[in-house]
Amino acid sequence: MKRLLEPTEDVVVNLLRLANTKLPADIGWALEAAAGWETGEIARTQLGAIMENVKKAEHLGIPMCQDTGIPVFYVRGRFDSSIASKIAEGVRKATASIPLRPNTVDPLTRENQGSNLGDGMPVIHYIPADVDYTEITVLPKGAGSENMTRLAMLNPADGVEGVRRFVIDSVLDAGGRPCPPSIVGVGIGGTSDRCVEMAKEALLAPLDSDNPDPVLAKMEEDLFSALNSSGLGPMGLGGSTTVLGVRIRKACCHTASLPVAVNIGCWATRRASARITSDGVEYSQGAVL
Amino acid sequence: MRTLRTPLSEDLVRSLRLGETVYLYGPVVTGRDEMHIRALKLSGEGSPVPSGIEGSVLYHCGPIMRQNGDGSWSVVAAGPTTSARMNKLEPEMIRRFRIRAIIGKGGMSKDVAEAMREVGCVYLAATGGAAVSLADGLGACKGAEWLDLGMPEAMWRFEADRLGPLIVAMDSEGGSLYERVAESLVRDRRGLPARPLSGRRGRPGR
Ligand code: SF4
């Protein structure tokens, strides 16, 4: 879908609308595949309700989930410092026009300005790159799944087995709260802050793309089958579909550290990107950073 | 599958079995943390609480609402929120207001289950995130209380019109699907072959 050049604010509104009303195709396919193998009656009811809901939301052009989340932005390529205020303005417009639920509050007074803006919001990550476009990606993150985020500074001696156990425990302890079947984002290594960032970035990799690192690809397969053998199931009500996918990113770390972070994405892991070039804007939902 | 008309009688609630699928018709109110806190505070002070809480079906939900030109409200999206956040407040809420059913996601604590057993109340699991379908099922908005709490935290009144599917996940005898699942949870099975994931492009769902 290519459009003529639009003001960045409007691109952000379009992005938020696309992300909130249309589930990325790869997640839709994973849900269909799950409905194919799932045998439990309650689990099948849950998957059926999710898929029907996704269809209705897309058809009616309204958000698939009432928790339209906190929008997390990734800006990659060429940009200047004015982009932050343009994105903020887009969020304000989108909140009123789509509409999005006003979720953003002061952490202590809990005061809600009603616009999804406020100190430090929205969250924007900047990735400068020597290309001739600006790419804005949004990942609206609901609280049900975000609240299950975990970071562990493991002992290097805990090794791969320690990482594996931590991921399994984090997902199973979360139970039905992050609306499983979920997508599990894992960050391994880096510093504590980078590790948590990677876990969230991992959710931007489509489920049908291969992890370029064969070791991580194997870990993803292993965790996928271990988690789906757990019996937790859709909404934590039992079944063989606990996760739709596991995506891992890693970075090098201190020789005395082994950081691991888990960021769970619910079935409604929403994402959309816009690539802005000199002759137009192209929207897509197959984000990878 | 059963269709039920609200308000629910204690007898009816006690006849609901774990794992049953139900659909609701009739009055339903929403409430999250702040609504619980205010209702309990007012009633603790002996002040009146809005009608519709006593004997209600209480939906843990912060909907997206749209105000129409004539001042009335329509529901846009309304899936369940995580019920565990209300674990501390719910036992008192159930006892004080004879709540007959709670709709939410993720289940609730043993203390809540105990209050449910005492009073005659069930926990109905709604599909998390199925906000458009559930908004359809909530039907017409019959007004709101405490809008100063903000859109998600206000208490909204609805006249449900086939709200569901809802699964009886905690019954009025202390039974819980979540506990059953937790008891049989397999934490660490090694060496299983990956599931055969047939997909249209590559292998979706890894
Ligand atoms: S966890 Fe996801 S699907 Fe569930 S309510 Fe939150 S945003 Fe919606």
Strand-strand pairing, B64-67 and B2-5: unpaired
Residue B22 DSSP SS3? strand
| Number of CB atoms found within 10 A of residue B204's CB | 25
pLDDT in tens, A15-28: 999 999 999 999 99
Distance from CA of B176 to the nearest CA of A (A): 10
B60 is catalytic: no
So what's the pLDDT on residue B194? 44
| Number of CB atoms found within 10 A of residue A80's CB | 7
Residue B128, ligand 1, Cβ within 6 A: yes
Mark whether A202 and A214 lie in a shared domain: yes
Q: State mean pLDDT over B9-21.
A: 97
Q: Is the pLDDT of residue B190 over 80?
A: no
Q: Which domain holds residue A85?
A: 2-22+64-142+270-284
Tokens 């990735």 label which residue?
A127
Q: Looking at chain A, which residue has its C-alpha nearest residue B196?
A: A37
The C-alpha atoms of residue B53 and residue A242 are separated, in whole angstroms, by 35
So what's the pLDDT on residue A288? 87
Query: Using the beta-carbon criterion (under 8 Å), do B105 and A179 form an inter-chain contact?
Result: yes
- pLDDT > 70 fraction of chain B, expressed in percent and rounded: 91
| Number of CB atoms found within 10 A of residue B198's CB | 13
Mark whether A15 and A127 lie in a shared domain: yes
So what's the pLDDT on residue A287? 87
Query: Using the beta-carbon criterion (under 8 Å), do B200 and A29 form an inter-chain contact?
Result: yes
How many beta-carbon contacts under 8 Å exist across A and B? Answer: 197
Which residue of the set B32, B36, B38, B105 is catalytic?
B36
Closest ligand 1 atom to residue A140 Cα is 7
Mark whether A175 and A129 lie in a shared domain: no
Mark whether A157 and A241 lie in a shared domain: yes
Protein residue with least CA distance to atom 7, ligand 1? A142
Q: Give the per-residue SS3 of B38-69.
A: HHHHHHHCCCCCCCCCCCCEEECCCCEEEECC
Average pLDDT per run of 10 along chain A, which is 289 residues long?
Answer: 78 98 97 94 97 97 95 96 97 95 93 93 97 97 96 96 96 95 98 98 96 97 95 96 98 98 98 94 92
HSE, CB side, 13 Å, CA atoms: give it for residue A137: 21
Residue A82, in any domain of the structure? yes
Q: Is the pLDDT of residue B206 over 50?
A: no
For chain A, the domain total comes to: 2
Shortest CB distance from B76 goes to which of A42, A62, A169?
A: A62
So what's the pLDDT on residue B195? 45
Look up the CATH number of the domain holding residue A116.
Answer: 3.30.360
Residue A178, ligand 1, Cβ within 6 A: yes
Domains of chain B, by residue range, sit at 2-189
- For residue B130, report the distance from its CA to the centre of ligand 1, in Å: 9
Residue A6, in any domain of the structure? yes
Residue A146, ligand 1, Cβ within 6 A: no
Residue A128, in any domain of the structure? yes
Residues 60-89 of B with CB under 8 A from A: 61-64, 66, 76-79, 81-82, 84
User: How large is the ipTM?
Assistant: 0.90
In a mutational test of the B interface, the residue from A31, A37, A237 whose CB has the highest number of chain B CBs within 10 Å is: A237
Closest CA to B85 of A148, A182, A115, A263: A148
Residue A172, in any domain of the structure? yes
So what's the pLDDT on residue B197? 43
Residues of B in contact with A186 (CB under 8 A): none
So what's the pLDDT on residue A289? 82
- For residue A267, report the distance from its CA to the centre of ligand 1, in Å: 8
Residue A253, in any domain of the structure? yes
Q: Does domain B2-189 have CATH number 2.40.50.140?
A: no
So what's the pLDDT on residue A6? 81
Residue A12, in any domain of the structure? yes
Mark whether A131 and A151 lie in a shared domain: no
Mark whether A8 and A129 lie in a shared domain: yes
Q: Work out the pLDDT band at B189, boundaries 50, 70, 90.
A: low
Q: Is the pLDDT of residue B48 over 90?
A: yes
Residue A159, in any domain of the structure? yes
Residue A40, in any domain of the structure? no
Mark whether A238 and A157 lie in a shared domain: yes
Q: Looking at chain A, which residue has its C-alpha nearest residue B82?
A: A177
- For residue A285, report the distance from its CA to the centre of ligand 1, in Å: 19
Look up the CATH number of the domain holding residue A148.
Answer: 3.30.1330
Distance from CA of A239 to the nearest CA of B (A): 9
Average pLDDT taken over every residue of chain B: 91
pLDDT in tens, B94-150: 999 999 999 999 999 999 999 999 999 999 999 999 999 999 999 999 999 999 998
Q: Is the pLDDT of residue B191 over 70?
A: no
Query: Using the beta-carbon criterion (under 8 Å), do B204 and A26 form an inter-chain contact?
Result: yes
Average pLDDT taken over every residue of chain A: 95
For chain A, the straight-line distance linking the first and the last C-alpha, in angstroms and rounded, comes to 20
